[in-house]
């Protein structure tokens, strides 16, 4: 089985480079044609959607996993055209190319397709109503993938972090090393999910060869605020000697940190459908976080 991974240098893409080789022959593609370690790979620039179909025809994959996306939530508000080109137009071109050759497309989407006014974790069939350009462009991408009519799996995930790339965990670790006090918002509630969990679960789903196309939520269980996540991160880092002291982590309201894009106040995802249909239990976010630190600790010896 031949798999083409797009966006191989992103957080999820990086983790998929570890999870996917067990399933078959893996070809990686990045925007510039190089992996983060400098090795050359296929080039797939989503700013040029027309170049994607020839790539699919040449690599001839059985499965395409698309982890590339325009993920700068605030910047997207002023960069609407690029966000839609990368998050909607390019996935539509990919999905059509996959449909033509009967390949399965795995495509990631986001909790930010919801407006955050819900009172229980969002299910796949709850109405989407994105608050900002990023969420709207990702929703348009979902619709383009479905409309192409080929085999697809749309996996919506949330609050992705890991020890690679730009993300909340890395920002908190950096700031905790520099400051005595961190101020972190406590009025946005969601489900932190490690890039490793997204990648490993994707691998598990692909081994099951489900014939049905569809949309599934893929997030850890439970919920917390960014503040709650930050507290857990500094505690884990301190316990493993990555920080020499625990800084104070003060809860603050989002209104104290005005940002360009509005974000949902509550965007927990209910991943029950995925767990039932694929018989794949997902961990609570605390265990997922602990595993990320344990793995890094193990690597450092
Ligand atoms: N991060 C989150 O909290 C979160 C939450 C929910 C859902 N998701 C979804 O999960 C998926 C993976 O996200 P992630 O967290 O791994 O994002 P990420 O770390 O920001 O990685 C995104 C990747 O997309 C690539 N990319 C951006 N523009 C591109 C272009 N024009 N052509 C080719 N590649 C381009 C980036 O390439 P460069 O390395 O060259 O910049 C980067 O490697 C995305 O679909 C995202 O929407 C993420």
246 within a domain of the structure (yes/no): no
In a domain, 228, yes or no: no
How far, in Å, from the CA of 126 to the mean position of ligand 1? Answer: 24
Buried residues in 121-138 as b, exposed as e (16+ CB within 10 A): bbebeeebebbbbbbbbb
**Digit-coded pLDDT (tens) for 173-206:** 999 999 999 999 999 999 999 999 999 999 999 9
CB 69 within 8 A of CB 109: no
pLDDT tens-digit readout, 98-156 = 999 999 999 999 999 999 999 999 999 999 999 999 999 999 999 999 999 999 999 99
Q: Provide the Cα torsion 34, 36, 39, 42; round to 10°.
A: -30
Question: Does residue 114 lie in a domain region?
Answer: yes
**Are the CB atoms for 147 and 127 separated by under 8 Å?**
no
Active-site positions?
134
Ligand 1 center–CA 180 separation, angstroms? 31
Burial of residue 146 (number of CB atoms within 10 Å: 0-12, 13-18, 19+) = middle
Per-residue pLDDT band at 297 (split at 50, 70, 90): low
**Domain with 201 in it:** 2-166+193-221+269-284
Q: Which residues pair with 248 in a beta bridge?
A: 181
Answer whether residue 19 is part of any domain: yes
Ligand 1, residues 14, 116, 160: which to mutate, most atoms within 8 A of Cβ? 160
Q: Give the model confidence (pLDDT) of 264-287 as tens digits.
A: 999 999 999 999 999 899 999 999
Domain assignment present for residue 249? The answer is no
Q: What percent of the chain has pLDDT over 70?
A: 97
pLDDT at 263 over 70: yes
What's the average model confidence in pLDDT over 214-220?
Answer: 98
Q: Please report the beta strands in the chain, taking only residues with DSSP state E, as ranges in sequence order.
A: 2-6, 25-30, 42-43, 63-66, 104-110, 152-157, 160-161, 181-185, 189-190, 193-194, 214-217, 224-225, 248-252
Tell me if 7 CB under 6 Å of ligand 1.
yes
What is the number of domains present in the chain?
1
* Domain CATH code at residue 109: 3.40.50.720
Q: Which residue has the CA at smallest separation from atom 45 of ligand 1?
A: 108
Whether 155 maps to a domain, the answer reads yes
Express each pLDDT in 42-68 by its tens digit: 999 999 999 999 999 999 999 999 999
d(CA 89, CA 83): 9
Q: Best of 48, 66, 71 to mutate for ligand 1, by most ligand atoms within 8 A of CB? A: 71
7-26 residue pLDDT tens: 999 999 999 999 999 999 99
Which residues, 6+ apart, have CB-to-CB distance to 255 below 8 Å? Answer: none
How far, in Å, is the centroid of ligand 1 from the Cα of 68? 5
Q: Is residue 60 part of a domain?
A: yes
Q: How much is the pLDDT for 299?
A: 65
Contact 102, 68 (CB under 8 A): no
Name the packing angle between helices 195-207 and 11-19 (round to 10°).
Answer: 40
For residue 143, the model assigns a pLDDT of 98
- Domain-located, residue 273: yes
Helices 226-239 and 285-300 meet at what angle, rounded to 10?
Answer: 30
């Amino acid at each position: 089985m031949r798999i083409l991974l797009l966006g191989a240098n992103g957080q999820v893409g990086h983790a998929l480079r570890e999870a996917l080789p067990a399933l078959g022959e893996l070809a990686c593609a990045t925007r510039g044609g190089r992996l983060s370690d400098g090795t050359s790979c296929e080039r797939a620039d989503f700013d040029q959607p027309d170049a994607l179909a020839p790539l699919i025809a040449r690599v001839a994959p059985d499965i395409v996993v698309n982890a590339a996306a325009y993920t700068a939530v605030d910047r997207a508000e002023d960069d609407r055209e690029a966000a839609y080109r990368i998050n909607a137009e390019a996935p539509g071109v990919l999905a059509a190319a996959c449909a033509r050759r009967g390949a399965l497309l795995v495509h990631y989407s986001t909790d930010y397709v919801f407006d955050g006014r819900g009172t229980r974790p969002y299910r796949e069939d709850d109405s989407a109503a994105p608050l900002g350009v990023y969420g709207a462009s990702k929703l348009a991408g979902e619709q383009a993938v479905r409309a192409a009519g080929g085999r697809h799996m749309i996996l919506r995930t949330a609050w992705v972090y890991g020890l690679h790339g730009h993300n909340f965990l890395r920002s908190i670790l950096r700031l905790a090393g520099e400051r005595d006090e961190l101020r972190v918002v406590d009025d946005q509630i969601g489900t932190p999910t490690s890039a490793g969990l997204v990648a490993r679960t994707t691998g598990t789903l692909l081994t099951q060869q489900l014939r049905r196309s569809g949309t599934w939520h893929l997030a850890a269980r439970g919920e917390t605020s960014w503040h709650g996540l930050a507290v857990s991160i500094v505690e884990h880092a301190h316990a493993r000697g990555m920080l020499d002291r625990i800084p104070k982590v003060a809860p603050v309201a989002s209104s104290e940190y005005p940002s360009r894009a509005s974000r949902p106040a509550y965007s927990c995802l209910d991943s029950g459908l995925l767990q039932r249909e694929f018989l794949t239990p997902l961990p609570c976010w605390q265990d997922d976080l602990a595993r990320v630190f344990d793995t890094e600790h193990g690597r450092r010896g």
